[in-house]
Structure 1
Amino acid sequence: MSTYGLPADGLPPQTALHTGRAVFTESYAVIPRGVQRDIVTSYLPGWDKTHVWVLARPLSGFAETFSQYVLRIDPEGGSDAPEPDDGVESVLFVTDGRPVLTLDGREHALAPGGYVYLPPGANWRLRNPQRMDATVVWVRKLYEPAPGLAVPDAIITNEQHHSPAAMPGTKGDWATTRFVEPQDLRHDMHVNLVTFQPGGVIPFEETHVMEHGIYVLEGKAVYKLNRDWVEVEAGDFLWLRAFCPQACYAGGPGPFRYLLYKDVNRHPRLRGPWAGR
């Protein structure tokens, strides 16, 4: 089983150099694991014994479609009313511990690698009944209905039950684990796992309308973001606005893996309450 990157927690010693890799630009941000410390956590209404690193939220003129958190849920912590907003869909990905999801009154024991899609209006709660902490990545998006399409069903699974699909012509050096069929237009976001073997690359500068939240789960690589090459490792978060050029080179020595959010399958809104969101 993979070991996933977690926040650094705690504080560096007073003797540590403060120079690091954190950067916020007009088109991307890098929030390294080393700056995800207790001092920057939040607490959320409806959640108890839970520290929250808010890594992304809608910003006008930047990435506008989603928010992304890392939750560290202490023993006996969690929430019976986790989602305060109507119309929001979520993905949960477990990176540590064994929390329990209750959906429509039925309990589901989760483990590292656990993946949950929760449609808007889902009746769910999340608790950690164990003696050890649980850590969960939480992606939230306001669901955009489309004419003739039903709301998607909930998904509860684990990455171990899904085989990565090799990208064309890569012989498996670049592969994607998908939990939703790309042709299923009920879904207006995809949250996938991307894996590069040592030496694997994105061999061109992707430039597209989709926003990204990229949470590095394992390994290290260099990532091309707009004009810059940046080095990233497990636990880092990359936040990309629409049309930010991007590429990747995974130098090894082991696989490089990340959880990838992108908004898909909808017309850009030109007017009305969704415009600019």
Structure 2
Amino acid sequence: MGYKTNEMGYPTDLLASRAVIERGNFAIIPPNGLVKNVLPGFDNCEMTILATPKLGATFVDYVCNVLPGGKNDQGFGGNGIETFIYVMTGELTVSVGQETFSLAAGGYVYCPPTEKLRFVNHSSVATETFLYKKKYQPAEGYEPYVVSGNSNEVEGEAYEGMTDVNFKNLLPTDLNFDMNFHILAFDTGGSHGYIETHYQEHGALLLSGEGMYNLDNNWVPVKKGDYIFMGAYNLQACYSVGRNAPLSYLYSKDCNRDVEL
């Protein structure tokens, strides 16, 4: 186990962190202080665990840095667990059953709960990915299926009529799926139209930019590389304040299902 940012030795300043952890409610987790984990099945992979049930989430998020030759041929998910992988940098070959996908930056694959997701890095450089898993909530008459694409080729739309906020759906919006992944991008000065309060949870990884995020009426600075967990009913909204890039993030959302008792 080592640190994700490869920092070692004594600090050059006071010991401090931008992390904010409110279990079951929300969390801001910057890269500094995160550790690399060794997990069964992930060979030559640097695994960083983000949201988990211990934090209050009903899903698990990871950042997986797949080193050259790194792979998971044991399989990730299956047996009722749906999975999703998104390539942030590099290249990766992903397979689900008999289907194989060659992913570049922005590429992704959704794997239904009846299958396992496998991957290998055939390139000479590390590939950084975002991984997700969740227990699938079935609905009578519906079955999820494999989906692959690249976010750079997904047509965005003005978010709730705001032309400086771009919204992308990465998965189909039909009832076969109990969740979706989106990318939301705010130009500088862009914001949500209101502070949201809802039942759905989010796990969000910031892909670019800087901003101020409202989490349970706490305004917190965030930037590229940060991870945000937003629990059910957590108040949430943001402003983009970065000069050089939009504030954009990849995030999951549970949807299309009634509440189980």
Q: Provide the rounded CA distance (Å) in 2 between the counterparts of 1:155 and 1:85.
A: 15
Q: Runs of 5+ in structure 1 lacking a partner? A: 1-6, 271-277
After the TM superposition, which segments of 4 or more aligned residues of structure 1 sit over 4 Å from their partners?
Answer: none
Are the counterparts in 1 of residues 77 and 83 from structure 2 also a CA contact under 8 Å?
Answer: no
Q: Provide the rounded CA distance (Å) in 1 between the counterparts of 2:132 and 2:70.
A: 19
Q: Runs of 5+ in structure 2 lacking a partner? A: none
**Which residue in 2 is equivalent to 1:80?**
73
Which digits, 9 at most, give the CA deviation of each residue in 1:234-264, with x for residues without a partner? 1100011100001100013121100011111
Structure 1 residue corresponding to 2:220, chosen from 217, 230, 235: 230
Question: Does residue 199 in structure 1 map to residue 195 in structure 2?
Answer: no
Q: Provide the rounded CA distance (Å) in 2 between the counterparts of 1:263 and 1:63.
A: 14
Are the counterparts in 2 of residues 211 and 241 from structure 1 also a CA contact under 8 Å?
Answer: yes
Are the counterparts in 2 of residues 30 and 237 from structure 1 also a CA contact under 8 Å?
Answer: yes
Question: Does residue 266 in structure 1 map to residue 257 in structure 2?
Answer: yes
**Which residue in 2 is equivalent to 1:49?**
44
Which digits, 9 at most, give the CA deviation of each residue in 1:150-183, with x for residues without a partner? x222111101211111112312x1121102233x
TM-score, normalisation: structure 2 = 0.93
Whose RCO is larger (CA < 8 A, sep 6+)?
1
**Which residue in 2 is equivalent to 1:133?**
126
Question: Does residue 28 in structure 1 map to residue 23 in structure 2?
Answer: no
**Which residue in 2 is equivalent to 1:275?**
none
Question: Does residue 11 in structure 1 map to residue 16 in structure 2?
Answer: no
Letter in 2 for 1:197: D
Are the counterparts in 2 of residues 63 and 211 from structure 1 also a CA contact under 8 Å?
Answer: no
Are the counterparts in 2 of residues 63 and 240 from structure 1 also a CA contact under 8 Å?
Answer: no
Which digits, 9 at most, give the CA deviation of each residue in 1:19-68, with x for residues without a partner? 121111141111012233xxx11111111101110001123xx6332100
Q: Provide the rounded CA distance (Å) in 2 between the counterparts of 1:73 and 1:252.
A: 29
Q: Provide the rounded CA distance (Å) in 1 between the counterparts of 2:103 and 2:14.
A: 38
**Which residue in 1 is equivalent to 2:178?**
188
TM-score, normalisation: structure 1 = 0.88
Q: Provide the rounded CA distance (Å) in 2 between the counterparts of 1:97 and 1:123.
A: 22
Letter in 2 for 1:175: N
Structure 1 residue 85: Cα displacement: 5.0
Are the counterparts in 1 of residues 77 and 133 from structure 2 also a CA contact under 8 Å?
Answer: no
Letter in 2 for 1:261: S
Q: Provide the rounded CA distance (Å) in 1 between the counterparts of 2:96 and 2:26.
A: 35
Over the matched positions of the two proteins, sequence identity in percent amounts to: 33
Are the counterparts in 1 of residues 78 and 112 from structure 2 also a CA contact under 8 Å?
Answer: no
Alignment root-mean-square deviation, CA: 1.6
Q: Provide the rounded CA distance (Å) in 2 between the counterparts of 1:89 and 1:13.
A: 39
**Which residue in 1 is equivalent to 2:152?**
160
Are the counterparts in 1 of residues 77 and 115 from structure 2 also a CA contact under 8 Å?
Answer: no
Q: Provide the rounded CA distance (Å) in 1 between the counterparts of 2:47 and 2:225.
A: 15
Structure 1 residue 13: Cα displacement: 5.1
Query: Whose strand fraction is larger, Structure 1's or Structure 2's?
Result: 2
How many aligned residue pairs are there? Answer: 256
Structure 1 residue 123: Cα displacement: 4.2
